[in-house]
C-alpha cells in the first residue's frame, strides 16, 4: 500500500483541485452561452442587484479593477452590459445589464442546475460542503492575511 504523498495530505491542495474542477465544469456549461466562468460570476452579482458601481462588483467578487476592467469590457462588446459614468463621482462607472443579459438568466441557471443534477451533486453532502466552505472563507476573511 502506497503512503500518501505530502501534497496529497494538504487541505489546500484538495481545495485547489476542487476549485479547478468546478471551474472546468462551469466553463463547459457556459461555453454555449459564449461566457467565461468569471463573466458568469459578474452576471450573478448583477442579476441579484443591477446598476452597481464597478468597484462594488469587484469587492463582491474579490477582484481588483485591473482584473475586472477587461472582463467588463468584453461583456460590453458582447452586448451583455452597459457602462456609464456615475453622476455622483465622475471617476466611477455604473455597470448595468442589457435586456439580452437579463433574458439569459433563466436558461443559464437551468443549464447549470441540469449539470449539477447530472453529476449527482445536489444532495446533503453538497449543502454540508457549502456550509463548511463558507465557514472557512469567513475564518480567512477575519484573519489579517
pLDDT digits (tens, 9 = 90+) for 62-73: 999 999 999 999
- Domain around 124: 28-140
Asked if 34 contacts 45 with a C-beta cutoff of 8 angstroms, the reply is: no
User: Higher model confidence: residue 46 or residue 65?
Assistant: 46
- 69: domain CATH number? 1.10.10.10
**Beta partners for 85?**
93
In a domain, 22, yes or no: no
The angle formed by the CA atoms of residues 111, 53 and 104, to the nearest 5 degrees, is 20
Percent of the chain clearing pLDDT 90 (strictly above): 64
Express each pLDDT in 86-120 by its tens digit: 999 989 999 999 999 999 999 999 999 888 877 77
Residue 15 lies in a domain: no
Gap between the Cα atoms of 108 and 102, Å rounded: 11
C-alpha to C-alpha distances, 97 to 32, 43, 85, 110, 129, nearest whole angstrom:
19, 8, 15, 19, 31
Looking at the structure of the chain, the number of domains it has is: 1
Q: Is the model more confident about 15 or about 51?
A: 51
Look at residue 8 and tell me if it is in a domain: no
Domain annotation covers residue 52: yes
Amino acid at each position: 500500500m502506497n503512503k500518501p504523498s505530502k501534497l496529497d495530505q494538504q487541505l489546500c491542495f484538495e481545495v485547489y483541485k476542487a476549485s479547478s474542477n468546478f471551474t472546468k465544469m462551469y466553463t463547459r456549461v457556459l461555453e454555449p452561452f459564449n461566457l467565461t466562468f468569471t463573466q458568469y460570476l459578474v452576471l450573478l452579482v448583477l442579476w441579484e442587484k443591477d446598476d452597481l458601481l464597478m468597484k462594488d462588483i469587484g469587492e463582491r467578487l474579490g477582484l481588483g479593477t485591473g482584473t475586472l476592467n477587461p472582463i467588463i469590457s468584453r461583456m460590453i462588446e458582447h452586448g451583455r452590459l452597459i457602462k456609464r459614468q456615475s453622476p455622483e463621482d465622475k471617476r466611477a462607472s455604473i455597470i448595468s445589464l442589457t435586456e439580452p443579459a437579463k433574458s439569459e438568466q433563466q436558461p443559464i441557471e437551468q443549464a447549470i442546475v441540469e449539470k449539477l443534477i447530472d453529476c449527482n451533486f445536489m444532495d446533503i453532502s453538497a449543502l454540508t460542503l457549502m456550509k463548511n466552505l463558507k465557514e472557512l472563507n469567513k475564518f480567512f476573511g477575519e484573519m489579517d492575511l
